[in-house]
Amino acid sequence: MMIYNPKDWWKLIFYFHKADTFRKLLPAMLGVMAYTAVFSYLENDVFHFMPIKNPLAVHSLVGFVLSLLLVFRTNSSYDRWWEGRKIWGSFTNNSRNLALKLNAFLPENHESKEVFRVLIGNYLQAVKDHLRDNTNPKHLAFVNKFDESFYENHKHMPNRIGQAIYLEINQLAKNGLLNPEQLLILNTELTSFTDNLGACERIKNTPIPSSYNIFIKKMIFLYVFTMPIGFVLEFKYWAIPIVTLVFYAFAGIEMIAEEIEDPFGTDNNDLALDTIVKNVKGNLAEILRN
Amino acid sequence: MMIYNPKDWWKLIFYFHKADTFRKLLPAMLGVMAYTAVFSYLENDVFHFMPIKNPLAVHSLVGFVLSLLLVFRTNSSYDRWWEGRKIWGSFTNNSRNLALKLNAFLPENHESKEVFRVLIGNYLQAVKDHLRDNTNPKHLAFVNKFDESFYENHKHMPNRIGQAIYLEINQLAKNGLLNPEQLLILNTELTSFTDNLGACERIKNTPIPSSYNIFIKKMIFLYVFTMPIGFVLEFKYWAIPIVTLVFYAFAGIEMIAEEIEDPFGTDNNDLALDTIVKNVKGNLAEILRN
Amino acid sequence: MMIYNPKDWWKLIFYFHKADTFRKLLPAMLGVMAYTAVFSYLENDVFHFMPIKNPLAVHSLVGFVLSLLLVFRTNSSYDRWWEGRKIWGSFTNNSRNLALKLNAFLPENHESKEVFRVLIGNYLQAVKDHLRDNTNPKHLAFVNKFDESFYENHKHMPNRIGQAIYLEINQLAKNGLLNPEQLLILNTELTSFTDNLGACERIKNTPIPSSYNIFIKKMIFLYVFTMPIGFVLEFKYWAIPIVTLVFYAFAGIEMIAEEIEDPFGTDNNDLALDTIVKNVKGNLAEILRN
Amino acid sequence: MMIYNPKDWWKLIFYFHKADTFRKLLPAMLGVMAYTAVFSYLENDVFHFMPIKNPLAVHSLVGFVLSLLLVFRTNSSYDRWWEGRKIWGSFTNNSRNLALKLNAFLPENHESKEVFRVLIGNYLQAVKDHLRDNTNPKHLAFVNKFDESFYENHKHMPNRIGQAIYLEINQLAKNGLLNPEQLLILNTELTSFTDNLGACERIKNTPIPSSYNIFIKKMIFLYVFTMPIGFVLEFKYWAIPIVTLVFYAFAGIEMIAEEIEDPFGTDNNDLALDTIVKNVKGNLAEILRN
Amino acid sequence: MMIYNPKDWWKLIFYFHKADTFRKLLPAMLGVMAYTAVFSYLENDVFHFMPIKNPLAVHSLVGFVLSLLLVFRTNSSYDRWWEGRKIWGSFTNNSRNLALKLNAFLPENHESKEVFRVLIGNYLQAVKDHLRDNTNPKHLAFVNKFDESFYENHKHMPNRIGQAIYLEINQLAKNGLLNPEQLLILNTELTSFTDNLGACERIKNTPIPSSYNIFIKKMIFLYVFTMPIGFVLEFKYWAIPIVTLVFYAFAGIEMIAEEIEDPFGTDNNDLALDTIVKNVKGNLAEILRN
């Protein structure tokens, strides 16, 4: 995720970072420009074949429904992005709460504190790697019996670590270090880890229905490529920048929606998962230090 | 559900898969085209009977409220689709959590682990079949006393399996293998299975109120079939592609909304229930293996 | 609720069932038609008193804000309708869950199973009757001590049945047939019955704020009855169908919103409460049969 | 809250109750009318100073963004109103549930039933008074030790009654009349009282950010007071009713939003708190009667 | 947060407080004015170089999609602001509930009441300071062993205080002053403190995706700086106030969205955290006074 000051207008307006929508769309915009230029030349200086009276009316009409569809697209993409952020906020909260509770419940300096510090950190690390198709046991920390061999031959690392956490908690309960009501109190946080993991997988694996995606792209294409027909009549060579600008407006919205639809990657607009995981590990160390 | 790369513009724009909205609408579009052509010929070359000054004004005005209605329709259909996805995400999470908890609570290698692995998998299988009106005890796996005869003479398979899960849990509690707080900890997941089932049935059995559906279809019909009246005056034979395009825009949105309104079928845009059920069964096997 | 196939365009377009918006609005539409006709005749053939240059501009401008208000109205009505459906889905889920749990907790063939089968079914029956102002103890089933006299002299049947359920549960707990953790496990479902009842009452008794309702109706009235002023100038006698169509569009949306605002009645668009109650009773019989 | 039949069009259209938006706006509308009349006279009959070609274009453009802002305002106000209604629905549900549970848990004819009947009723009464800045211990009922002196010297009545309820419950638990699981079962309702109180205070004390309020009012002002500039050119003296109508449309939406933003007062659109409190007290008496 | 009467139209319309959007935008508006003036002079009196027929059409078309984007921006900013308010409402509720419960559970005059009064107050104080990057142990109150040294060497004050609360609760449980079910009853409130803290951090640290922010600012810039091209042709020198007004409308919406996006600061529109914290401390003192 890019860190930026949302109030610095000039910098943002003249910002052309390599991840900027403007730069990404530039090749397509040049194509639209060339296409409109050729069309303008043919119509204005060669054929004069279209004696339409009100050439902008249709694009006004359809532009309206297309704009509404793009805002629908924007809303649903942003909701996914923001839900992703909420899930990772929940990971943070539950990690902290679990640590605070275990710290209070377990005897001072009990070795299990260290085990949970490592396992909870591992869980978040593994979820992040899992969402980026980058699972690697080497990214994990090892502690006591949960060493490298524990993770061997398992594909779904987060589930494996979840298993470890449950087993460790259950062992403490059997040893009488956690009493029944403490077990109940820990249950919410334990459950939420798997719930959050599942929610991330849902967002990652389920893009917007393909019909919408295809329909919107087809509409933008039809819209922009028929624009010169009417606009060249009305604006002559001025149609070239105009069509390009309108293309930038419509395709830009669609492109940003695509970018934030899956918020767990490493793009400029994606969530700062590295920072979040690092912060949680820091919090865990501060809370569970002996 | 179709797997696709949402960022591949060219492929999606020129994609005419048999499930594509464009192809599905093609016959109707040809009809609209023919109708407009006949109308154009009669008006332009035969009668000249309509001396209206501003023929597009009414369609602009009504087009606005129709567009807003279609976006309302899109939103409500998409919400149903996404809620359906969330429910199946919840099935996934709760299956995993239940497995993780039972794995920690039950003694190693206890035969009940196998029973729950089968029953939870059966539950999801049965819900999927139930939603597709495809209930068949042959799709289920059998284990111990929960064999073929257990499912005989029952119509509502998911409820029957729910019964089995509750009875098995209760038996373990009676035998002292689950203590009171563990029973409480398992309760959330057990309850959620029935809740999710009910939510799926709700989405499946309750389409959008018929008044809206009928009203929107009537409006599209009235709108498109009066369009040539004004547009032929303004654009002459160009009205033929224009009316067809506008029909594609409006009818396409309504058609996609229809498709995703019931997300549990086997259409192109429907949820990938087969994959989800398969993945959960895999997770269960990995977590509950002895 | 009408059962219909949402994908059958032709049937729905030419559907003029007695509950259809078109038919309901027909008298008003004929009125609007006559009014516009008189207005057209006076303006076009008698007075010619309005030399306005751009007669549609104001209706375009105001039409926009009116359309947005109508979509707001549509959204809020639909949300109420869908929330009503969710509440009854929750009634279904909680009835099933309660039955599944009681079936597992109580000894086989215990007579209380029958009591709960009857009481839960009665609860849903009574809520449905209560929402339709049709309360009648004769609609209820009687079992053991919960016979006709139990319901006598009570106005609020659902609360009375809730009382019965709580007393019966408490009695079982006192007799040692339900242990503490089982009581806790049953609590969620028991609580939710009253919550769902309250939510239904809230939807039924609280229409949209009267100011909005009055404002929207006044705006539609002002809008449609000033339309001929401008439209007759522009379209002459064609204004008659045009004004009628626009009236149909705006008044139709408002009328459907009114219909679904209170979803618990017996109108065509109302929820299928009869079916839901019948299904739940069937499920209860299947789950709690001895 | 006004009781009305939302389907009675004629009555609502010609309804000019003293709380009606139309009547409230009438003085301002007369002002706008006079202002436009003066402007029309000066422009049409005296100066003729503005040779603008397309005088309505700017108001179309800005009218669009203003309409969207007003719908945003409408949505957020309505959400607050509806949330307020949900909170009072929750008060109703929790009062009933608490009564049902206590009725089942406590021995028949135990005097505490009467204490809770009074205290719960008092709580709702006190919250209503608190929200209307009308706190008065005289509105409360007294029972046993919770007599007038108990409320003396306390400003925040609902918190004081909450304290009484918690103390009474705790006393019953200490006396062995409520066992641990019953205490847990009562906890949700007890907690929700304070939560609902806090939610009401939040809605009451936090209007929409002042920037939006000021910005929207400024935009309406600028919009309406520049309208005559363009509209007088286009419509001559017809501009007088037109500008007034547009002012009614925009200012009316803003005014209704203001009215329902704080839904706990005694305005026509405010929630029927008196009725709700009365109904709950009736329910409590019916459930907890000995 | 500014305290204001939302119904006082005149005062708000002519309100030009230093934090008002109008005043903040004034320099930019003067710039736009000057730019348009130069442009008008060059076009009208010097060059006459643009013979475009329909110069406003493009700005109408693009103005539509830009307006929708701005409303999307407004909605998402307002949602963040309102969520922030809800979180602090939850802080208030949970503080009160925790106090009410502890007051009922602990023996009268037990010294721990004072400890919790201080610690809960400290928690809210520390969260407020933390969100304003203004952490300072001097702002906290000290009690018993939780004195200045307890907070030394800790960066994340809220987590440190959370630790203290959990340890104190746990100590009471060990000493038999809180029994198991009371521990369970306190758990919800304890957990919610960390959850609310995390939610505040999420809102503070995660602005809207940079792509949207940059895209909207670029669109406003392109839109306003190309406006004179068309508007000068149509309105001559009248274009100067018109372009400035449109700029005020669009940039004003974006600017307010920026202001309320992070609602925890000390701006005019930010939440009244100082008042909330003060009120809660007052409530705590009233509830937990011995």
Q: What is the pLDDT of residues E197-239, one digit of tens each?
A: 999 999 999 888 888 888 999 999 999 988 888 788 777 788 8
| Mean of per-residue pLDDT scores for chain D | 87
Chain A contact set for E258 (CB, 8 A): 6-7
Cβ(A183)–Cβ(B241) below 8 Å: no
Q: For residue C3, name the pLDDT band (cuts at 50, 70, 90).
A: low
pLDDT (0 to 100) of residue E225: 87
Chain A contact set for E72 (CB, 8 A): 71, 74-75, 78
Token representation of residue C148: 């006709």
Q: Is pLDDT at D57 greater than 70 in this prediction?
A: yes
Distance CA B214, CA C22 (A): 10
Q: Is pLDDT at D60 greater than 90 in this prediction?
A: no
Q: Is pLDDT at C290 greater than 70 in this prediction?
A: no
CA-nearest of D211, D68, A216 to E72 is: D68
Determine the residue among A7, A8, A9 to mutate to test chain E binding: the one whose Cβ has the most chain E Cβ atoms within 10 Å: A9
Q: Indicate the residue of E191, E202, E210 with minimum beta-carbon distance to A89.
A: E202
Chain A contact set for B64 (CB, 8 A): 64
CA-nearest of B93, B120, A183, A188 to C181 is: A183
Cβ(E157)–Cβ(E151) below 8 Å: yes
pLDDT (0 to 100) of residue D94: 94
Q: Is pLDDT at B49 greater than 70 in this prediction?
A: no
Size of interface A-E (CB pairs under 8 A): 163
User: What is the nearest CA distance from C211 to chain B, expressed in angstroms?
Assistant: 22
Nearest CA in chain C to D270: C209
pLDDT tens-digit readout, E263-272: 998 888 889 9
pLDDT tens-digit readout, E79-100: 999 999 999 999 999 999 999 9
Q: Is pLDDT at B83 greater than 70 in this prediction?
A: yes
Nearest CA in chain B to C181: B180
Q: Indicate the residue of D101, D245, D259 with minimum beta-carbon distance to C166.
A: D101
| Mean of per-residue pLDDT scores for chain E | 87
**Contact assignment for E162 to A271 by CB distance below 8 Å:** no
Which residue is associated with the tokens 């009218």? D63
Q: Indicate the residue of E156, E180, E213 with minimum beta-carbon distance to A12.
A: E213
Determine the residue among B8, B85, B232, B235 to mutate to test chain A binding: the one whose Cβ has the most chain A Cβ atoms within 10 Å: B235
Cβ(E248)–Cβ(E25) below 8 Å: yes
CA-nearest of A60, E27, C244 to B60 is: A60
pLDDT (0 to 100) of residue C239: 86
Chain E contact set for A70 (CB, 8 A): 65, 68
**Contact assignment for A89 to E61 by CB distance below 8 Å:** no
Element counts in chain E: helices (H) and strands (E): 10, 0
Range with the lowest mean pLDDT among A20-24, A25-29, E133-137?
A20-24
Angle at E254 between CA E250 and CA E257, to 5 degrees: 145
Please, what is the end-to-end C-alpha distance for chain E in angstroms? 34
**Contact assignment for E159 to A283 by CB distance below 8 Å:** yes
Q: What is the mean pLDDT of residues D266-274?
A: 88
Cβ neighbours of residue D16 under 8 Å, at least 6 residues apart?
D22, D23
Token representation of residue E276: 């909330």
pLDDT over 70 percentage in chain D: 94
pLDDT (0 to 100) of residue E119: 95
Q: For residue B21, name the pLDDT band (cuts at 50, 70, 90).
A: confident
Cβ neighbours of residue D213 under 8 Å, at least 6 residues apart?
D207, E4, E6, E12
Chain E contact set for D208 (CB, 8 A): 6, 78
Q: What is the mean pLDDT of residues A271-285?
A: 92
pLDDT (0 to 100) of residue C237: 83
Task: Give the residue with greater pLDDT, E80 vs A40.
Answer: E80
Cβ(C177)–Cβ(C168) below 8 Å: no
* Distances E252 to B257, D218, E23, E70, E78 between C-alpha atoms, Å: 36, 11, 10, 10, 15
Tell me if residue A178 falls in helix, strand or coil: coil
**Contact assignment for A62 to B12 by CB distance below 8 Å:** no
Chain-centroid distance of CA E147 in Å reads: 32
Cβ neighbours of residue E117 under 8 Å, at least 6 residues apart?
E99, E284, E285, E288
C153-163 core/surface letters (b: 16 or more CB in 10 A; e: else): eeebbbbbbbb
pLDDT (0 to 100) of residue D3: 64
pLDDT (0 to 100) of residue A53: 66
* Distances A218 to A223, B227, D35 between C-alpha atoms, Å: 8, 22, 50
Q: Indicate the residue of A65, A206, A221 with minimum beta-carbon distance to B13.
A: A221
Q: Is pLDDT at D193 greater than 90 in this prediction?
A: yes
**Contact assignment for A96 to E198 by CB distance below 8 Å:** yes
DSSP H helices, chain C, are: 9-13, 21-41, 57-105, 111-131, 148-151, 157-174, 180-205, 210-235, 239-261, 273-288
Q: Is pLDDT at B201 greater than 70 in this prediction?
A: yes
Q: Indicate the residue of C7, C12, C64 with minimum beta-carbon distance to B214.
A: C12
pLDDT tens-digit readout, C127-140: 999 999 988 888 99
Token representation of residue D108: 């028949």
CA-nearest of D82, D83, D84, D168 to D122 is: D168
**Contact assignment for E69 to A71 by CB distance below 8 Å:** yes
Cβ(A225)–Cβ(A35) below 8 Å: yes
Instruction: Identify the bridge partners of residue C143 per DSSP, sorted by sequence position.
Output: C146
User: What is the nearest CA distance from B144 to chain A, expressed in angstroms?
Assistant: 26
pLDDT tens-digit readout, A191-228: 999 999 999 999 999 888 888 888 999 999 999 988 88
Q: For residue C53, name the pLDDT band (cuts at 50, 70, 90).
A: low
Token representation of residue E159: 């987590």
pLDDT (0 to 100) of residue A56: 77
Q: For residue B177, name the pLDDT band (cuts at 50, 70, 90).
A: very high
pLDDT (0 to 100) of residue A288: 87
| Mean of per-residue pLDDT scores for chain A | 87
Nearest CA in chain E to D28: E9
Q: Is pLDDT at E56 greater than 80 in this prediction?
A: no
Task: Give the residue with greater pLDDT, A55 vs C197.
Answer: C197
Angle at A193 between CA B203 and CA C193, to 5 degrees: 45
Chain E contact set for A271 (CB, 8 A): 206
Chain B contact set for A169 (CB, 8 A): 104
* Distances D80 to C29, C174, D203, D208, D257 between C-alpha atoms, Å: 36, 44, 7, 10, 10
**Contact assignment for E242 to D167 by CB distance below 8 Å:** no
Distance CA E230, CA B279 (A): 59
Tell me if residue D226 falls in helix, strand or coil: helix
* Distances C128 to B95, C33, C118, C136, E113 between C-alpha atoms, Å: 34, 42, 15, 11, 49
Please, what is the end-to-end C-alpha distance for chain C in angstroms? 34
Cβ neighbours of residue B225 under 8 Å, at least 6 residues apart?
B35
Q: Is pLDDT at D236 greater than 90 in this prediction?
A: no
**Contact assignment for A185 to E183 by CB distance below 8 Å:** yes
Chain B contact set for C235 (CB, 8 A): 52-54, 58
Q: Indicate the residue of B60, B235, B269 with minimum beta-carbon distance to A52.
A: B235
pLDDT (0 to 100) of residue D153: 83
Which residue is associated with the tokens 């242990």? C179
Nearest CA in chain D to C70: D71
pLDDT (0 to 100) of residue C56: 77
Q: Is pLDDT at D290 greater than 60 in this prediction?
A: no
Q: What is the mean pLDDT of residues D245-252?
A: 92
pLDDT tens-digit readout, C198-255: 999 999 998 888 888 889 999 999 999 888 887 887 777 888 988 999 999 999 999 9
Amino acid at C222: L
Q: For residue D200, name the pLDDT band (cuts at 50, 70, 90).
A: very high
Q: Indicate the residue of B71, B183, B217 with minimum beta-carbon distance to C185.
A: B183
Distance CA B169, CA B186 (A): 9
pLDDT (0 to 100) of residue A290: 56
Q: What is the DSSP string of chain B?
A: -----TT-HHHHHT---TT-HHHHHHHHHHHHHHHHHHHHHIIIIII-----S-TTHHHHHHHHHHHHHHHHHHHHHHHHHHHHHHHHHHHHHHHHHHHHHHHHHSPTT-HHHHHHHHHHHHHHHHHHHHHTT---GGGS--BTTBSHHHHTT-S-HHHHHHHHHHHHHHHHHHTTSS-HHHHHHHHHHHHHHHHHHHHHHHHHH-PSPHHHHHHHHHHHHHHHHHHHHHHHHHHGGGHHHHHHHHHHHHHHHHHHHHHHHSTTSSSTTS--HHHHHHHHHHHHHHHH--
Q: Is pLDDT at D43 greater than 80 in this prediction?
A: no
Q: Is the ipTM of this complex over 0.85?
A: yes
pLDDT tens-digit readout, B103-154: 989 988 888 999 999 999 999 999 999 999 988 888 999 988 888 888 888 8
Cβ(A27)–Cβ(E232) below 8 Å: no
C112-145 core/surface letters (b: 16 or more CB in 10 A; e: else): bbebbbbbbbbbbbbbbbbbeeebebeebeebee
Chain C contact set for D89 (CB, 8 A): 198-199, 201-202
Q: For residue E51, name the pLDDT band (cuts at 50, 70, 90).
A: low
Gyration radius from chain E CA atoms:
27
Query: Chains that contact B by 3+ CB pairs under 8 Å?
Result: A, C
Task: Give the residue with greater pLDDT, A2 vs D216.
Answer: D216
User: What is the nearest CA distance from B84 to chain C, expressed in angstroms?
Assistant: 13
User: What is the nearest CA distance from A228 to chain B, expressed in angstroms?
Assistant: 14
**Contact assignment for A68 to B67 by CB distance below 8 Å:** yes
pLDDT tens-digit readout, E157-188: 999 999 999 989 989 998 999 988 888 889 88
**Contact assignment for D209 to E104 by CB distance below 8 Å:** no
Chain D contact set for C78 (CB, 8 A): none
| Beta-carbon count within 10 A of D22 CB | 15
Chain-centroid distance of CA D158 in Å reads: 20
pLDDT (0 to 100) of residue D51: 59
Task: Give the residue with greater pLDDT, A5 vs A280.
Answer: A280
Q: For residue A153, name the pLDDT band (cuts at 50, 70, 90).
A: confident
Token representation of residue C275: 């079916």
Task: Give the residue with greater pLDDT, C46 vs B225.
Answer: B225
